[in-house]
Amino acid sequence: MSDLAWVPQSCTLPTEERPLRGAERDALFAERLTSLSRPQPLHLRLALAGGEDVADRVRDLVERESGCCSFFTFTTMPGQDLFRLDISVDQAHEPVLDALAVRTAAAGEQR
């Protein structure tokens, strides 16, 4: 999914940087995604394989995403072999979470 039309106007990441950020996110999920679930319509849960190196990558990405997309709420839960990332949005941004879930699943299937 190379089309970034799903990125809302409220995202402050410069347009020219969006494909790079998307590629970074896709690469992480293609390498490490072990499961994706949707416990609630406004909540996406990802499990990523790996140790501290994955935790560092996810924390760095989450910090940068939080800086440009304040509508996301990220919760990280490190574990021994799995790192969990929960992503939540408000009702107005549910379509963004839907698109992110589709993109993440597609990246994970590349594994």
Give the domain range for residue 60.
Answer: 19-108
Overall average pLDDT of the 64-93 stretch: 91
Q: Quick check: is 3 in a domain? A: no
CATH of the domain at 71: 3.30.70
What's the number of domains the chain is made of?
1
Q: Quick check: is 47 in a domain? A: yes
| 49-70 pLDDT tens trace | 987 788 899 999 999 989 888 8
Q: Quick check: is 14 in a domain? A: no
Q: Quick check: is 80 in a domain? A: yes
Q: Quick check: is 102 in a domain? A: yes
Distance CA 54, CA 40 (A): 25
Q: Quick check: is 43 in a domain? A: yes
Predicted confidence (pLDDT) at residue 6 exceeds the cutoff of 90? no
pTM: 0.85
CB 36 within 8 A of CB 108: yes
